[in-house]
Amino acid sequence: MRFLRRQTLNRRAVYDNSLYLDTNNNIVMGTSNTLVLPSGTTSGTSPRPYVPAPGMMRYNTTTGNIEVYQGSGWRSLRYKESTKIVQQNLGAGDSATVYFGPLNSLYSPSNVSSENNNFAGQNVLVVVENVLQLAVSNYTVVQNPTLSSQVYQPTTSVAVATGSNTISFSTSLTVVSVGASGGVATLVFNTQIQTPFRVGQTILVTGVAPAAYNGSFTVTNASPSSVSYTSSASGSMTISGVVTGAGTVYPGTPIIGATVTGSGFLQSATLVQSIVIEPDTNALISITLSKPTLGGTIAAGTTLTITEGTQVGSGYYLFFSSPPPYGKIVTALLGFDQ
């Protein structure tokens, strides 16, 4: 009988067979038929090799991925299972803002290709009002950009009584149902804290079917959950749409801490303390003031000014070569092929 001796890889222990080459030249470990790779962190106490060589493989305990040194950088191995895709709304265009962000943490340097260090469009799809944007041609991704000063001028939807800390503005809302009776069309939306539209103002209706409901109209009646206007349309809604009031703004930069002016009933150095944004359209709904109004009532239909100074963004932002049009929602889909 002929005996075959396994080739051990441990030169210090002649009889050590915990790690050996089998008859097929596979590296195995004991009886488990597995291999434990060298492991360590990205940097720190057990970093990557200082002078790596192509083909090196290790388990990165920082990222939780097996990585290989290929070309001129470390790259994580890809897995066959699906990854989580996150849809992130980044606000709506105002025909001036070019930076939108910050992006969700799924977009990070560890998730982009080592072959391209300008973060052009890896692991992200960008859509502006359902139109796919091309990386580099339409936008790039930049880190910690300087955001220029922005001025927004929303219009109040209801009167603001003296001593109030909250101001509600004309906004943009998703329509959940629509109907007509006696020559008057009524759009219904989710109930708001304050009435989001006012009688006499202009609204723009889009995306509703039948198409006769769409267009620019003057409000004849309004409540926290509906708005009405004169219309010859008939029939119930078959496709949801959006109703947008004149004076709606879409903040493209963080406005908490911004200065609020435009009325003598606002105290000096009044700042935005908190905001409410409509989740579907990203339009501004209301703000909370750092100081209450004094001396009188701010009438409905008053245009106020919110001024946000220059600031440095934290994280990764989309930078558009041309500002997205007014009211067009910017959406990023993140997490592809980690």
94-119 pLDDT, tens digit each: 888 899 988 887 776 655 554 445 55
Task: Provide the percentage of residues in the chain whose pLDDT is more than 90.
Answer: 42
Asked whether the beta carbons of 112 and 119 are under 8 A apart, the reply is yes
Contact present, 174 and 281 (Cβ < 8 Å): yes
Q: What is the mean pLDDT of residues 6-13?
A: 56
Per-residue confidence (pLDDT) for residue 114, from 0 to 100: 47
Identify the sign of the CA torsion 157, 242, 208, 206: positive
Query: What pLDDT digit, counting tens, does each position of 12-44 carry?
Result: 555 555 666 656 555 666 666 677 778 888 887
Task: State residue 181's pLDDT score.
Answer: 87
Residue 317 DSSP SS3:
strand
Which residues are registered as beta bridge partners of 260?
Answer: 306
For residue 5, is pLDDT > 80? no
The answer for residues whose C-beta is within 8 angstroms of residue 163's C-beta and 6 or more apart is: 292, 293, 294
Other residues' Cβ atoms within 10 Å of the Cβ of residue 156: 23
Q: For residue 46, what are the CA distances in angstroms to 37, 60, 68, 120, 297?
A: 14, 10, 16, 31, 65
Q: What is the average per-residue pLDDT within 130-140?
A: 91
pLDDT tens per residue across span 158-167 = 999 999 999 9
Mean of per-residue pLDDT scores for the chain: 84
Burial status of residue 5 (CB atoms within 10 A of its CB: 0-12, 13-18, 19 or more): exposed
pLDDT the model gives residue 159: 96
CA pair distance 285, 274, nearest whole angstrom: 11
Q: Which amino acid is at 123?
A: N
Phi, psi of 36 (to 5 degrees): -100, 120
Q: Label residue 172 by pLDDT band (50, 70, 90).
A: very high
Burial class (CB in 10 A: 0-12, 13-18, 19+), 25: exposed
pLDDT in tens, 247-297: 999 887 778 999 999 999 999 999 999 999 998 888 999 999 999 999 999
